[in-house]
Chain A
C-alpha cells in the first residue's frame, strides 16, 4: 500500500511542476497528449508496483513467429 501511495505522490509532484508551464503557454494540444501519456504511464507503473502481469511485446512476437513456423 505504501508503494502505491508513493507512486501516486511522485506522479502528482511531476504533474504539479509540468502542467502549469503548459497552461501558461496555452499549449492545449500538448497538455492533452501529456495527460494521456501520463495516465498510461501511471497505470503501467501501478501494475508494476502491484506485481500484476505486464504486457510482454516480445512474447507476442515469438507467438506470431512460431505460428508461421519461422523459429
Chain B
C-alpha cells in the first residue's frame, strides 16, 4: 500500500522532529509545575523519553517498511490491530485538537476583539491545505521555519541578557521528590513522548536506516531549546514566573533597549504560530493517513476536507475557557497519555516477543 508517494530526507526529519518537540511548548513550558526547577524537569523528561524512544525504535528496526498502523496489524492480527490503531489515531486527533485550541487562545489574547473561532478556522484550513500536499511539503516547510525559530530565539535571548539574573535559579531542587518526578514525567509525556507518532512516517524516509539517528538529533535540538527557554524565563521573571500563563510572552515583553527596541512579544507569537502550524499539520497528517491505512483506502486526500470540520468542532468543545488550559496541560494530560505512550506500546512489545516478531506474510495466516 503506497499512500504517500513523497520521500523525505533524514535532515528534513531532524528539523521536523525539532519543530514537533518545541511546538506550543514555547509558551506552555513542559514540566512547569516544578517552578524554578522547570529546566531540570525538562532534562529528566528528556531522559525518560529516551527510554520510551528505545522501545518504539525496537519496532521500527524490525519493520522498517511499515507504519505504526501496519505494524499493529502484523503483530496483533487484523482485528485487534485495527482497534489498537484507532486508539492511537484518537490520541493523535485529541492532541492535535488541543494544540489548535491553545494556539487560537494565545492569538486571541493578542487580538482580543476577534472571536477565537476565526483563528481556529483559519488555522484548520491552512493545515488541511498543507496536509493535502503531502509530507514533502511539511518537511520542507519545517527546515525554513525551524531555522527562523532558532534565529529569532537567539536574537531575543541575547536582548534579554541585561535582565537575566541566574541567581533566580537557586536553590536548585528545593521541591519534594514526588513533585519533581511528576513534573519530569509530565515533560516526558508531553511533548517528548509523542515522538511515538513518528513511527507513522519513518517508512517515508529515503534512507530508513538513518531514521533513528535523525529522531534523536531532532529531539536533542528541541530539548536544548526548551531548556534554554526555561532557564531564561525563570532567570528573567524570577521564581514565581511560572505562575504566569504565558511566561515566555511576559519575559520577552520586558525587552527594552534604549526605548527603541520594545514590544518584542510579537516575535513569540510569530514563533508560536509557525512552529505550532508545523506541529498541528503533523498531527493532522497522521490522523488522515492513519485512518486511510486502517480503512485500506488508496488515497488519504478525500478524508482531508471532512476532517477540517470535525477537528474544528473538537477544538471548540475541548475547553470551556482558556483558563483551564495550563491545569489540563500539567495535571490531566500526562496521566491521560500513560495508556497511549507506555502501556499500549509495552503490551504490543510483549505480544511481539511472545509471537517472535511475526513477519508481514505470516499475519495473513492469523496464527
- A residues with a Cβ closer than 8 A to B are 14, 18, 22, 27, 29-31, 33-34, 37-38, 40-42, 44-45, 47-48, 54-58, 61-62, 65, 70-71
Contact = CB atoms under 8 A, between A and B. Distances in A.
Interface string B325-351: 000100110011000000000000000
B310 to A, nearest CB: 5
Given A41-B310, A71-B335, A58 B303 contact: no
A13 B291 CA distance: 24
B296 A29 contact: yes
A56 B69 CA distance: 26
B298 A37 contact: no
Contacts of B316: 48, 54
Interface size bucket, B side?
Answer: 20 to 34
Contact of A27 (B302, B317, B324, B336): B302
A45 B313 contact: yes
B302 A44 contact: no
A37 B313 CA distance: 13
A41 B94 CA distance: 16
5 contacts: A33-B291, A42-B309, A44-B309, A44-B310, A55-B317
A44 B318 contact: no
Contacts of B331: 71
Contact of A33 (B297, B328, B336): B297
A46 B305 CA distance: 16
Contacts of B324: 58
Nearest to B98: A58
Contacts of A38: 305-306
B54 interface: no
Contacts of B336: 61, 65
B119 interface: no
Given A34-B303, A38-B306, A58 B297 contact: no
A26 to B, nearest CB: 10
A33 B317 contact: no
Nearest to B318: A58
A56 B82 CA distance: 24
B285 to A, nearest CB: 16
B116 interface: no
Nearest to A19: B302
B183 to A, nearest CB: 15
Contacts of A65: 332, 335-336
A37 B302 CA distance: 10
Contact of A71 (B303, B319, B332): B332
A6 B319 CA distance: 26
B316 to A, nearest CB: 7
Contact of B305 (A18, A29, A45, A55): A18
Interface in B71-117: 94, 98
Contacts of B309: 41-42, 44-45
B254 interface: no
Nearest to A40: B310
A61 B295 CA distance: 27
A33 B293 CA distance: 12
Contacts of A40: 306, 310
Contacts of B318: 56-58
Given A41-B307, A65-B335, 5 more contacts: A31-B302, A37-B303, A40-B310, A42-B309, A56-B317
Nearest to B338: A70
A41 to B, nearest CB: 4
Given A29-B296, A33-B297, A58 B302 contact: no
A9 B122 CA distance: 20
